[in-house]
Amino acid sequence: MSTTSRGPARLSRPHQALVAVCLLHAVTPYLLRGLHPGYGWDETVYISQIDPHTVAGYFSAPRARGLTFLTAPAALLTSSVSVMRAWLTVLSGVGLYAAFRPWAGLRRGWTVPVAALLWSGVWVDIYYGYMAMPNQWIAYCAVAACGWLLRARAEPEAWTPRIGLGVALLVAALIRPSDSVAIVVPLLAFVSIDRTSAPRARLGVAGVMVASVAVGWVEWVIEAFVRFGGLGARLDAASVENGGTGLHWELGAQFRALGGPLLCRNGCVASTPFTDQVWWLVLAVLVVVGLIGAVRLRAGIARMDLLCGAVAVVLALEYVVLIGYAAPRFLAPSYALLAIPVAEGVLWIVRSASARHWRVAVTAVLVAAFAVQEVGQARIVRAISASNDRDTSRSAQLARFLRAHGVSRPCALTGLAAGPTSFRLGCFGTDTIKWVPIAERLARSGRSTVVIIFNHRTAALPFYAGWPMVEFREPGYPVWRVWIDRATVSSSGGAS
């Protein structure tokens, strides 16, 4: 902020631009996706843990409770999807501002608002903008942690940067513990090799980072012993659900899924043309240009960009090497971190033009390129949203179908669309990784109606092969087989 003799402090123009970008980021999902898209499977798991209007879904080993805490104020108030979306919209705009605000004290000019704009324009960040999914929040935490660490380095006697750094890493550990480790390791490496600060100051900053991540892990570790038989057992279970132990290489799958599908497991085919994937290559070029511009401008800025790049690479490698499948949202934190050197590169290209009219021309070309890029990104958002809306409609139809066939609480669902459908019915929902022992145990207990849903090519396992089976049919979709234990099934077995 700056002060003038005419009145109180006013926001600088770049700061105003950052606020405007955050507001735009918050409302863009509404403009492209509507007011109330239905919950996805992962969302129903996180929200149902504390929602008094439904039954908590199966909370698998890799998940953490941070998102449940974030959604709690809306979930405790109402079951309305629109209210939840509104709440997450507010949090999303605040989160983007909190992520990039520390950088305003490190970079003068337009780098920070341009970086925030570039990241918030990626379709993944628009699509998940007001959804209860972890990757966007990890992106906020990673950007904020890097910024606050650099601020702590520049202001070794100040406590505000250390507090901001600690909060960012604590929130990351609560939301996704493994990601917090991927963030803190390169940050600790940076502190260990950076000689511009006194050893005591560096040790203090390192202590804040380690303590914050450790505190954030506490709940996850306690739950590991309470529900999974120990920390090692939970880590093993998480590894199994994420594709199995050992190393993987999913970079090709990530490339194919750049414009969808939302999940690329066991191989997938790109759902958008190659032209919608070119931006990945442009991103790599602009990162290099940004680093070159930063080196020519000042060595300290280059060091900042390299730190962002290092954290971005480690976060990306976690999902490319350690996870056995791909999803576009996995790379959202890396995109957010790389947006800073990319913004530096874009602005350096503009500043490199010698004459004013050339700068205007270069700026116009870059703005036009960004606009074309956003048209493509918006098209991807609309296409995937339309598919999501169809899935939501089918889940609603399936819920009505099951009610008509006698399914009511207490009940448990597993299989296709089981998460969103169980959320609508107030049933317990399980994923399809470890569903067999869970469903078998529930069926033998006799305390709830168990429903198993798979496509028409799936053969029944022995423990439910003798249950009544009905077919759920809806025009334009494959037939689903529905096995219902202890339910009263109509003789016709028709679909709603």
Q: What pLDDT is attached to residue 486? A: 62
Give the DSSP H or E segment for 45.
helix 41-48
Read off the DSSP letter of residue 309.
H
Q: What is the arithmetic mean of pLDDT over 162-190?
A: 97
SS (H, E, C) 180-240: HHHHHHHHHHHHHHCCCCCHHHHHHHHHHHHHHHHHHHHHHHHHHHHHCCCHHHHHHHHHH
Quote the pTM value.
0.91
Cα 5 from Cα 483, distance rounded (Å): 76
* pLDDT for 15 beyond 90: yes
pLDDT at 280: 77
What is the per-residue pLDDT across 66-92, written as a single tens digit (0 to 9) for each? 999 999 999 999 989 999 999 999 999
The alpha carbon dihedral of 140, 144, 147, 153 has a sign of negative
Given a cut of 80, whether residue 107 has pLDDT beyond it is: yes
5: pLDDT strictly greater than 50: no
In angstroms, the CA 450 to CA 454 distance is 13
What is the pLDDT at residue 42?
93
269 pLDDT tier (thresholds 50, 70, 90): confident
Under the banding of pLDDT at 50, 70 and 90, the label for residue 434 is: low
Q: Which residues lie below 8 Å from residue 405, measured CB to CB, with a gap of 6+?
A: 470, 482, 484, 487, 488, 489, 490
Q: Chain centroid to CA 307: how far?
A: 22
Six-digit token string for 108: 């003068």
Above 80 in pLDDT, residue 278? no
How confident is residue 433, by pLDDT bands cut at 50, 70 and 90? Answer: low
> Beta strand 449-455 with 411-415: parallel, antiparallel or unpaired?
parallel
Distance CA 323, CA 245 (A): 9
* 240 — pLDDT class (breaks 50, 70, 90): confident
Residue 449: beta bridge partners?
A: 411
Instruction: Sketch the domain layout of the chain as residue ranges.
Output: 13-352, 390-484
